[in-house]
Amino acid sequence: MSTPDAPDLVFTADELETLGRTADALSAYLGRAVLAEVVDAEETGFEWAIFAVPLDKDEDESKFTVVQIGGEGARVLGNRGGLEPDDTAVYACRYLWAVQLTDADPIRFIKVDEEGDEVAWTETLEELLPFALSDDAFVPEDDDDDDDEDDEDFPDPQGRTLH
């Protein structure tokens, strides 16, 4: 629990949305489900979000850190890598990384790698994420050029030119 003088060590709605969008982007990038689950602050005194990939049947679990994601009451973010929204199954997953909250002013976020080491810390969540997730990141620039210029790339089949 937080005291009146301490910052809330829970993710905001915007931060949760960003973490979910990150899981979705990682799923698309890797071509397989990436799950992000928020671990409640009651367990540790601060919330943290873990990112992990469900294991395939033939993967050797001894080669990486394995965590469990999901289950009854789990707070899985994003589109869940294609899993059904009401899925309460528990998945054995390969741990990728986590973001934990801290009250070490001015730092709010700490990134924890697959070895459990704190590898980055910052005031803004976006600095820790592998993708830029701004809404305008994929908006193409307006093409203000005159469309007549494009006509020169496609010559008239009868040999005429457009001027």
Q: Is the confidence at residue 50, as pLDDT, over 60?
A: yes
pLDDT band for position 79 (cuts 50, 70, 90): confident
Provide the pLDDT for residue 134.
57
Which residue's structure tokens are 């979705």?
A: 24
Residues in a beta bridge with 120: 111
What local confidence, expressed as pLDDT, does residue 89 receive? 86
pLDDT, residue 133, reads: 59
Contact by Cβ (8 Å): 75, 37: yes
Q: How confident is the model at residue 99 (pLDDT cuts 50, 70, 90)?
A: very high
pLDDT at 82 over 50: yes
Q: Is the pTM of this model over 0.85?
A: no
Q: How far is CA 25 from CA 51, 94, 161, in A?
A: 12, 17, 46
120 exposure class (CB count in 10 Å sphere: 0-12, 13-18, 19+): middle
